[in-house]
Amino acid sequence: MARHRSTSEIINFDEGVIKPIGLLNKATVPQLWMSFKAVSDLTNYKHIDLSEVHSVDSAGVVFIEEVASELIKSNSLLAEKSFDDVIVNGSDEVLNSIKIFSQRDLPERPKRVRTGYFERLGESFLLGKSGVIEILTLSSEVFYWSIAALWKKKGARKGSLIQQAGLIGVDSVPIIFLLSFIIGLILSLQSAVQLRLFGADIFVADLITVSMLREMGPMMTAIIVAGRSGSSIASEIATMKVTEELDALKMMAINPIRYVVVPKFHAITFCMPLLVIISIIVGIFGGIIVAVSYLGISPSAFYGQMVKALSMKDLLITLLKSTIFAWAIVIIGSFYGFRVEGGAEGVGKATTLSVVASIFAVIVIDVIFSLIYIA
C-alpha cells in the first residue's frame, strides 16, 4: 500500500484502486498529479474510487479523466473499458461536475499553421512592394491635399494648424535647445584639442559653423523631431484606425489625410526650418563658450571667422534639407499609422517602425544632400 500525503489532500493507492480524498480542485490537483506520476507501475490499478471526494472543479475533473485514461492505456485488462467503468462511487454532485467539464467529447485541437522560411521571405517581399506603392500614393495625396487645403477650408478642424505647430514646433524647442548646445560644446572641445596641436585654434570657428550649419543642426533637429513628433503622428493615426475613427471620418465625407495629416504637414513644414535655425545658433553659441574659455579666442575674432565660414548657399540648402526631412517624418509616420493592424500591439509596432524608418530616411536624405553641398 502506498499512501501519499501532502499539506492539504490525500490520495490512496490501495488494492487496485486509486482513491483521492477530500477536495479535488486547482489548489490540490498539482500535488495529487505529482503523487500519481510517482507511481511507476499502473498495471495493478483498475478503478478510481471517488467515494471520499467531496467536490471537484474543472481541474479536478481533468485530473480524474487523465488518471482514468492512463489506467486504461497501461492496463490490458481495461482495454475494452470506458471512463465510466473505471471511475466509480462518485456522488451525484461529483458526477455532475464530471459531466459538465468532461474532456471526452473535446474536438481535436487545431494545429498551428506555421509558414516556411521561403513563404515568409516571399510575403515580406510582397509586403515591401505594396508598401512602396502605398507610400508613394500617400505622399501624392498628402501633397495634393496640402496644396488644395490652401483654398478648400472645408474638412479641416479650426485651429488645428496652430495646435500642431505648438505640439511639433514650440514643444520641441527646449530639448533642441539643450541638445544643440551640448553638441556645440562637445564638437568644439574635441576639435580644439586637435587644432591647438597645429596652432590653428581660430579655425574652431569655421569647424563649428560649417558642421552645425550643414550637418549637426539639421540632423540633430530631424532626429529629435522624428523621435518626438514622428512617433506621436504614427501612434495617433494608428489608434484612430484601430478605434475606427478614420472610418467614421470617411463616413462623414471627410478625407482622413486632409483632416489628420495635412495640419501636421503644414505645421512641420513651417516649424522645422525654424527649429533648425535655433539649433544652429545655439550650437554655435556652445562652440563660442569653449573657444573663449578654453582656447582664449576673443568673441569678436570668433565672430569674424564665423562670418567668413558662413555661406548663403549652405544656408539655403540646409533649409531645403530640413524641409525634406520634415516631409519624410510626417509621411513615414502617417504611412505606418494608416498601415496598422491589430490592437494595442499593432499601435506599438507602428510607432516603433515609424521612428526607425524616419531616422533611416533622414540619414539617407542627408547623404544625398552631402553630395549636393560638395557639388
Partner 1 sequence: MKEPIIQVNNLTAKYGEKVVLSDISVDIYPEEITVILGPSGCGKSTFLKNILRLNQPAEGSVNVFGDNITIMEEDEYEKVLRKIGVLFQNGALLNSIDIFENLSIPLEQHTSLPSELMEKIIRIKLELVNLSHAINLKPSELSGGMRKRAALARAIVLDPEILFCDEPSAGLDPLTSAALDELILNLKNQLKMTVIIVTHELASIHRIADKIIFLDQGKMLFYGTVDEAKNSGIEEIVEFFRVGSF
Tell me the closest approach of the beta carbon of residue 45 to partner 1, in angstroms. 19
Asked if residues 204 and 275 have their Cβ atoms less than 8 Å apart, the reply is no
Asked if residues 257 and 300 have their Cβ atoms less than 8 Å apart, the reply is no
Give the CA angle between residues 61, 63, 69 to the nearest 5°: 100
Give the CA angle between residues 330, 334, 339 to the nearest 5°: 155
| Cα 329 to Cα 348: distance, rounded to the nearest angstrom | 17
| Cα 287 to Cα 207: distance, rounded to the nearest angstrom | 9
Tell me the closest approach of the beta carbon of residue 166 to partner 1, in angstroms. 27
Tell me the closest approach of the beta carbon of residue 102 to partner 1, in angstroms. 8
**Residue among 80 and 105 whose Cβ is closer to partner 1:** 105
Tell me the closest approach of the beta carbon of residue 69 to partner 1, in angstroms. 10
| Cα 108 to Cα 157: distance, rounded to the nearest angstrom | 54
Backbone dihedral region of 22: left (phi > 0), alpha (psi from -120 to 50 degrees) or beta? left
Tell me the closest approach of the beta carbon of residue 91 to partner 1, in angstroms. 14
Tell me the closest approach of the beta carbon of residue 251 to partner 1, in angstroms. 18
**Residue among 100 and 147 whose Cβ is closer to partner 1:** 100
Binding site for partner 1 (CB under 8 A): 25-27, 29-30, 33, 57-59, 61-63, 65-66, 96, 100-103, 105-107, 109-110, 112, 341-346
The single residue listed with the C-alpha cell 477536495 is 23
Tell me the closest approach of the beta carbon of residue 100 to partner 1, in angstroms. 5
Distances 366 to 65, 223, 318 between C-alpha atoms, Å: 67, 12, 10
The single residue listed with the C-alpha cell 580644439 is 192
DSSP 218-232: HHHHHHHHIIIIIHH
Nearest to 238 by CA among 130, 323, 160, 354: 354
